Every structure is written in C-alpha cells, then in structure tokens.
Structure 1
C-alpha cells in the first residue's frame, strides 16, 4: 500500500471482526467492546490475542460507559487512564478518546490528561465532536489540533457521514494538518460518493454483515432459546464481513 492510498479503519468489537478486517485489507483497527453502545473500552485479553494474530495497527477506544454526553467525572478519568496504561502494556498502537464539557465544548483539561498519559502515542478524537456546535466547527478542530490529537473521527454533525459530507468536505479542505476521518453509516453503496465529495484520505466503517452462523475465523452463532440475554434478543449480533472490507478497499483504491 502506497502513501497515496485512501486508508480504511475498521471498528470492531470481536476477534472474528478484527481478523476479517485484517484479511480484507483494512489499514487499521479501532478495537472496542459493545459497538451496539457506540463502542466501549475493549478487554486487554482481546487486544493481546489480536496483537499475536494480525500485524496492522490497533487503536483502542477509551470509553468506560455508554451515554452520548461524553462528560466524565474525575473518577471516570482515573479509570480511563488506568485502562490506557493496561492496554498500552498489551500492545496498543494508539487510542481513541473524546471529552466534552456541560456546554458541549471540548473539555481541554481532561483531554490534556489523557494526551499526557499516552506519552506521544497517536490519539484520535472521536464523534463526541459531532455533539459540539457546528457553527464553531473550525474553532473546535483548531483546539483538537493544538491539544495534539492526530485524527478526528466525524460524521459531519449528521446521523451518517454521507449526510454530513458537505461539512466534512469543508473541514478536510481547511484543516490539512490533521486527518479528518469520515465515519458513521459508510457502506459499499455510498462510499464512492463520500470519497468524491469529501476528498478524505482515511475513512472509518464497521463493514458489518449480520451473523447467523459460526464462521471459519470464529464468528458468533445465533442461538434460539427461551433465556433472555439482553439487547441481543432484539438486535442481532453482527460481525465485520471480509468481503465488504475488500469491496471498500477496492473502491478506495480506484478513487485515489
């Protein structure tokens, strides 16, 4: 892969999905748990196992709980910093984090604490950015850059990146010294349009397909039973599909 290739980061919450992403040609993994909750901090065991199985970089989500506020107490930040230390010791290549104030602005102090703890490792500011004021988007990107984040994951303040593609295009055109990475709702069917509009150099997708049987790389089967196990009873578990990843990579290569 050359430096001019458009890179695909795949967000995953299972070993099977990470293996499929790597096999399909993804450039990087965003490792989480509980993608149905928007992605939470992954387990060290999952990270360590994957570091022995795949060679592409793995960035770990730092998010201790669900919720779309991204307002963290000092105790929660302490937990995030401990998670960071543990995940780094097990081979994390980078991290994904974002914190906001009650006014939905960037929480500079809490972001600084996390950035200092990374010791210079790359940090992505995630879609907490999409909850900030769109009218202040350039000012907020400047704050994120000045803090030291290397990437910003955003849907352009909309439900999906394709809906927010105009905002993303503006951000990407203006801020060349940080990677603005479109993410949310990106699929094979809308990827070419998104790449054409935004001129992005990286994008972020789950590349999922609904799981119904165990796959040869350890996927999860759907079990029929009378025991309730929570949200999965109404929301089928989905895993990254290696063929979807391949098709996205092919589209990106053609668009470069």
Structure 2
C-alpha cells in the first residue's frame, strides 16, 4: 500500500475481528470493547495479545462508560488517564478520545489533560464532535487541531457518514492540515459514493457480518441458540469483522485513489 492510497481504519472489539481486519488489508485498528455501546476502553490483555499477532498500528479507545453526553467528571478523567498509561505500557500506538461540556462544546480543559498525558502520541478526536453545533464546525475543528489531535472521526453531524457527506466534504476541503476521517454506517454498497463526495484520504468502518463462521486463523465468534441471555444486546445476533468485507473495501479505496 503506497502513501497515496486511501486508508481504512477498522474498529473492532475482539481478537477475531482484529485478525480479520489485519488479514483483509486494513491500515490501522481502533481497538475497543463493547461496540454495541458505541465502543468503550479495551482490556490491556486484548491489546497485548494483538500486538504479538499483528503488525499494523492499534489505537485504543479511551471511553470509560456508555452514554452520548461525553461529559466526564474529574474522577472519570482520572480513570481515563490511568487507562492511557496502562494501555501505552502494553503497546498502544495511539488513542481515541473526545470530551464535551454541558453546552456541547469541546471540553478544552479535559482534552488538554489527556493530550499532556499522551505526550506526543497520536490521538484521534472521535464522534463526540457530531454532538457539537454544526454551525460552529470549522471553529471546533480549529480548536481540536490546536489541542494537538491528529485526526477527527465524524459522520458529518448525521446518523451515518453517507448522510453527512456534504458536511464532511466541506470539512475535508477546508482543513487540509488535519485528517478528517468519515465513519458510521460505511458499507461496501455506499463506500464509492462516500469517497467520491468527500475526497477523504482515510475512512473508518467496522466491516462486520453476522458471526458464527470461522473467520481467520481458526478464530471465530458463535451465536448460540440459547434461552439464557447475558443482557439486552443478545437480542441481536453477534457481529464480527469479516475479512472479505475488509478486502472489498480496500479494493474499492484503491480503485478510487
């Protein structure tokens, strides 16, 4: 993959998904736990295991709980910063974080605390951005850049990146000194349209399919036929990153460059 290729970051919450993403040609992994909750901080054990198995960069989500407010107390930030230190010790190549105020503005103070602790490691500001005021999107991107974030993950203030593609195109055209990375709802069927509209150089997807089959290196996730559930998420089938979906996305991106 050359430096001019459009890069795919795959978000995963399991060893099997990460292996499939790497095998399929992803450029980078966003490692989380609980993607059904929007992605939470992953375990150090999962990170360390993957660092021994794959050689693409792994960025770790720093999000201590579910919820779409992204308003963190000082105690929660203490936990986030401790997670950062632990995950860095176990090989994290970068981090993903976002914090807002009660007014849905960028929480500069908490982001500064995190960037200081990251000490120059690359950090992506995640889709908390999509809860901010769209009319202030350029001002907010400038704030995020000045804080030192290297990337911004966004769906363009809409439920999916394809719906928000016009906003994303405006952001990408104006802020060429920062990587604006479309994410949310990107699939094989809409990827070509998204790339054409936004002119992005990186994009973010889960590349998932229903679990139950062997994925890669003999690793897989099963959906068991059972009357006992482990929580409300069991109502829907478990999904997992599919190596073939990753490959198809990579091929579409290579054709579009």
Residue in structure 2 matched with residue 28 of structure 1 by the alignment: 28
Which ranges of structure 2 fall in alignment gaps of 5 or more residues? Answer: none
State the alpha-carbon separation in 2 of the partners of residues 220 and 12 from structure 1: 13
> CA deviation digits over 1:141-200, x for unaligned, max 9?
000000000000000000000000000000000001110000000000000000000000
| Counterpart mapping for 1:49-198 below 5 A | 49-198=49-198
> CA deviation digits over 1:209-234, x for unaligned, max 9?
01124445311111112222112321
Structure 1 residue 253 corresponds to structure 2 residue 240: no
Structure 1 residue 7 corresponds to structure 2 residue 24: no
Partner-residue secondary structure (3-state), 1:80: helix
Query: What is the TM-score when the length of structure 2 is the normalising length?
Result: 0.98
Partner-residue secondary structure (3-state), 1:99: coil
Q: How many residues align?
A: 256
State the alpha-carbon separation in 1 of the partners of residues 38 and 247 from structure 2: 24
Query: What is the TM-score when the length of structure 1 is the normalising length?
Result: 0.99
On the 8 A contact 1:213/1:222 being kept in 2, the answer is no
On the 8 A contact 1:62/1:97 being kept in 2, the answer is yes
Residue in structure 2 matched with residue 230 of structure 1 by the alignment: 231
What's the Cα RMSD here? Answer: 0.8
State the alpha-carbon separation in 2 of the partners of residues 11 and 60 from structure 1: 10
On the 8 A contact 1:9/1:205 being kept in 2, the answer is yes
State the alpha-carbon separation in 2 of the partners of residues 230 and 213 from structure 1: 23
